[in-house]
Amino acid sequence: MEQREQIVSLGKGTSTSEGGKKPELFRLNSEYRYAIAIDIGAEYLVGAITNFSCELIGEPIYKNATEATYEETVQMIYEIVEMLLRTSEAATESICGITLGCDGIVDMDKGIISCSAHKKTWAKNLKIRKDVAEKLKKLDLNCEVYVDNGCRYIGFADLLCTDTRQYQCIATIYTTKEFLGGSIIQKGHLLKSANGFMGEFGHNIIDPKSKVRCECGNYGCLEALVSEKNLIQILNEKRVQYPDSIFNTSDLEADMEHIFAAAMEKDVLAGKILSESAEYFAISIHNMMMMFDPEMVIIQGEYARAGEDFLHEICKRVTQLNVFGLDRIPHISLSKVRNTEDLLKGYAYFSILNYIAEKEPYR
Ligand SMILES: [Zn+2]
């Protein structure tokens, strides 16, 4: 194993208090391989390169992609990879994987964007893995190109935190102001998906009689119910009942951030709104338990900032929904991952784990 330089020796350690042979100590060789991570967002593309320990080498590279066509996006991906290789001075043969994360429905096995959520002008069923691999031929890379909904890769960002290591099956729910997606990660690997819907918790129908319409065309989806737009809608409907709320006594803008902050300051109206959101998350987590029975559920993104009261409310409601009075619920937590750099580390970690599993299964 050491011959391949995946790990390096740190020499002899000290014996235990009972004595015995001194242990040989090793650490992962950070320079063994490198991984490239690219997020294809609605407004920009951002790419970064990490070493084998998932540490970023240099600054992420951003490219404006607001109006970009699909073809222009593929070209920008090539330019980012080329620039990352040049600036990091990582050898092309040391790249173990390139991870492309986008939005919408993605067939990860075929490497096809079935339907982009943000890029309304893009065609359906775009063979992005094939197109990017074709473009990258010029760079003489010999590595896998992975494509999936970015929410799945973001799940891996929390796997880098030590407090998740004890759990074998983890469900992650990534939230933005408008969108919600996630992943089911079992023993470090994404659960396979037949049609690209695995982890699309945003489209769990929580309330089929709801009048809140989702982007997907259905009513009462989790994504639509917990979106910023719906929080503001609920606030405007209920505000007359709470004259003492900060949203009535000041000109504070009604947005997600201020609703979270007001709830933390015990504003009753904000608390009611978040409690409604907690109910929707709890129903979704309950349904998730009946399908995948995860040991841990991590809420990432915007709602990770919603505060401890919000988390307690979810745990309370999931417990109340428990079947047959069995007091068994997953460990539910709010993610500590905050910035783009850390999310990209999740992308990189996905390809590093795949590389280890596929190329070097002896580990
Ligand atoms: Zn939906």
pLDDT of residue 362: 52
Distance 203 CA to ligand 1 centre (A): 4
- Ligand 1 midpoint to CA 249 (Å): 35
Set out the domains of the chain in order of their start, with CATH numbers.
1-30 (no CATH), 34-155+342-359 (3.30.420.40), 162-334 (3.30.420.40)
**147 alpha carbon – ligand 1 mean position (Å):** 22
Cα 183 to ligand 1 centre (Å): 16
pLDDT of res. 2: 45
CA of 24 relative to ligand 1 center, distance in Å: 53
The pLDDT score that the predictor gives to residue 165 is: 86
Return the pLDDT at 3.
Answer: 47
pLDDT at 195: 81
Find the 206 Cα to ligand 1 centroid distance in Å: 10
Cα(179) to centroid(ligand 1), Å: 9
Residue spans of the chain under pLDDT 70:
1-4, 16-17, 360-363
The reported pLDDT for the residue numbered 1 is: 43
246-296: per-residue pLDDT in tens?
999 999 999 999 999 999 999 999 999 999 999 999 999 999 999 999 999
3-state secondary structure the chain: CHHHCCEEEEEECCCECCECCCCEEEEECCCCCEEEEEEECCCEEEEEEEECCCCECCCCEEEECCCCCHHHHHHHHHHHHHHHHHHHCCCHHHEEEEEEEECCEEECCCCEEEECCCCCCCCCCECHHHHHHHHHHHHCCCCEEEEEEHHHHHHHHHHCCHHHCCCCEEEEEEECCCCEEEEEEECCEECCCCCCCCCCHHHCECCCCCCCECCCCCECEHHHHCCHHHHHHHHHHHHHHCCCCHHHHCCCCCCHHHHHHHHHCCCHHHHHHHHHHHHHHHHHHHHHHHHHCCCEEEEEEHHHHCCHHHHHHHHHHHHHCCHHHCCCCCEEEECCCCCHHHHHHHHHHHHHHHHHHHHCCCC
Q: What's the 246 CA to ligand 1 centre distance in angstroms?
A: 32
Digit-coded pLDDT (tens) for 68-84 = 999 999 999 999 999 99
CA of residue 158 to ligand 1 center, whole Å? 25
